[in-house]
Amino acid sequence: MKSSHPILIFDGCCVLCSASIQFILRHERHHDLYFALLHSDMTKEMLDKLGYKSENLNTIILIEDGVVYLKSKAVFRLAAYLKMPFTIFSYLRYIPAFLTDFIYDRVANNRYILFGKRNDCYFPSELERPRFIY
């Protein structure tokens, strides 16, 4: 499954994740990214076609040209879509994934404790809605 736009899949009920999406929308260089909620039926279908079971995934996911990036790899690739100085973080992708994923996993596994959980999942504004896949 190839898309002309990269797709960022996130946990819409996570306060940290939702705040990150708002940050990305404010600091994107171009409006290239599309967004999808991790637990939506459309996302599950998309991930199934790519060979991933969404039930087993509890992470940020970036899909570029049909290639799936998970955890810290997704975060660092995502940084390349942002304006300076945030683009600099894309160079962290050269650090071995076992190190960066270790840190990522600590934050991700405790994100509800550290940042909270929304009662309702993130809902984009009318202006943002065309870039969200449901």
Q: Confirm whether 46 is domain-assigned.
A: yes
pLDDT higher than 70, residue 80: yes
**Closest to 43 in 3D by CA, of 26, 25, 28, 62:** 62
Report yes or no on 95 lying in a domain.
yes
Q: What is the pLDDT of residues 94-105, one digit of tens each?
A: 999 999 999 999
pLDDT of residue 56: 67
Say if 2 falls within a structural domain.
no
Q: What is the mean pLDDT of the chain?
A: 88
The tally of CA atoms less than 13 A away on the side-chain side of residue 5 is 14
Give residue 122's pLDDT band: very low, low, confident or very high (50, 70, 90): confident
**Could you tell me the pTM of the whole model?**
0.87
On whether residue 70 sits in a domain, the answer given is yes
pLDDT in tens, 28-75: 999 899 999 888 888 888 888 888 876 667 889 999 998 999 999 999
Is 109 within a domain?
yes
Give 11's pLDDT tier (boundaries 50, 70, 90): confident
Instruction: Please count the structural domains in the chain.
Output: 1
- What's residue 124's pLDDT? 81
Q: What gap in Å lies between CA 26 and CA 23, rounded to an integer?
A: 5
Q: Which domain holds residue 116?
A: 7-125
Whether residue 87 lies inside any domain: the answer is yes
* Identity of the amino acid at 25: L
Q: According to the model, what pLDDT value does residue 28 have?
A: 95
Q: Is residue 31 part of a domain?
A: yes
